Amino acid sequence: MIRIRVLVLPVVLLLLFVSACDTASDQTSTPTPTITATPTPATQPTATPTQSTPSPLPSIAGIVERVTPAVVYISVEYIEFSFFTQYLRTKSGSGVLLSSDGYILTNNHVVEDARNIEVLLPDDDHIYQAELIGADLLSDLAVIKIEGQDFPTLSFADTSKLRIGDWVIALGNALGLEGGPSVTIGIVSNLERSFTLEESTFYDVIQTDAAINPGNSGGPLVDLEGKVVGINSAIIYTAQNIGFAINASTARRVYEDLVQYGRVTRPYLGVTLQTVTPALATELGLSRNRGVLVRSVVPDSPAAGEGIEVGDVITHFQGQEVSEASQLIKLLWEYDVGDRVGITFWRGEQQHEVWVTLVERPEGL
């Protein structure tokens, strides 16, 4: 049974997302102008026109050989409940080893509700029992651990240098095919995509046309240096060549928190936000048609304590202009609990600036 996820984009279209992991029903199955030449004077020699030959694409075989040993296969047993009985089911996905002592980063939807987790390495016949270290529903990431030492590992890339059009390679156990991870190549189609999918809200997602298939969930998206730029997470089931990977800038912090604390600590303002558009500004009579609207404020939250109110339009965060809610949230998550941050906002025709001390985001939000 392929697990379908639905993302609704208002007015424009309905997109069906399928998480790139698969589940089974009765037995284990695997994760769905014309140019006119100028005459040359007779007294001068005529140059022989030459055509440049396009450079061939570089082979990625060497990169794949280095990266593949750290891409693992994950098999999960879980209980599925019906009205009158329960069934033991299996599902599978991928993960990436990030430490030589066995810490593996994968997607939360690969390991959620797991009763038992088994891990196989490409160059190792041993079946490893894995322990769930921590999971983060908000980012759809999780960390599991296998016992052992000197495992092959990958490292995160600096994705601040990643550009649309850069080559990327997706690896994972597509469809659970035997013989190790499958490899596909494509480009970065876009950056900083944002959407909500079930219980996960993605604020910093890489869009790629490298094929991501059922079973790829949790596998790495790497650059031509073999470093992890993202964690493969979702595809648009009804489209071609549109897949998504959680940016390493987000994944790195989540991974580090889960390893250290078993949970993710995030800074918290205590507001809900909405991107201001010209249409929204006209509808609500806002004085600014660009910025981030405060839709609600939690009582006794840091934002409430500094006088931020419903209807305020935030235009700058730490001196940086913000025009989208997702942009502001991404910037917020770059700071730590206890940091003081400057927020500039407009209330009617008056501009205000406040300094807010961030607290830890309450569990369950």
Q: Do residues 94 and 73 make contact, with C-beta atoms less than 8 angstroms apart? A: yes
Q: Do residues 198 and 5 make contact, with C-beta atoms less than 8 angstroms apart? A: yes
Residue 69 and residue 254: Cα distance in Å, rounded?
23
The token pair that represents 233 in the structure block:
């997470």
To the query of whether residue 316 is one of the catalytic residues in this protein, the response is: no
Residue 342 and residue 334: Cα distance in Å, rounded?
14
Q: Which residue, 109, 105, 116, is CA-closest to 143?
A: 105
Q: What's the chain's Rg over C-alpha atoms? A: 24
The token pair that represents 82 in the structure block:
């019906």
Q: Do residues 257 and 133 make contact, with C-beta atoms less than 8 angstroms apart? A: no
Residue 234 and residue 244: Cα distance in Å, rounded?
5
To the query of whether residue 158 is one of the catalytic residues in this protein, the response is: no
How many other C-beta atoms lie within 10 A of the C-beta of residue 160?
Answer: 6
Select which of 182, 217, 233, 326 is catalytic. 217
Q: Do residues 137 and 226 make contact, with C-beta atoms less than 8 angstroms apart? A: no
Query: DSSP 3-state assignment of 213?
Result: coil
From residue 146, give the alpha-carbon distance in Å to each of 90, 110, 342.
19, 16, 43
Residue 353 and residue 338: Cα distance in Å, rounded?
19
Select which of 22, 136, 140, 204 is catalytic. 140
Residue 71: strand pairing partners: 96
Residue 31 and residue 28: Cα distance in Å, rounded?
10
Residue linked to tokens 């730029």: 229
To the query of whether residue 109 is one of the catalytic residues in this protein, the response is: yes
**DSSP string covering 225-247:** TS-EEEEEEEEETTSSS-EEEEE
Task: Enumerate the active-site residues.
Answer: 109, 140, 217
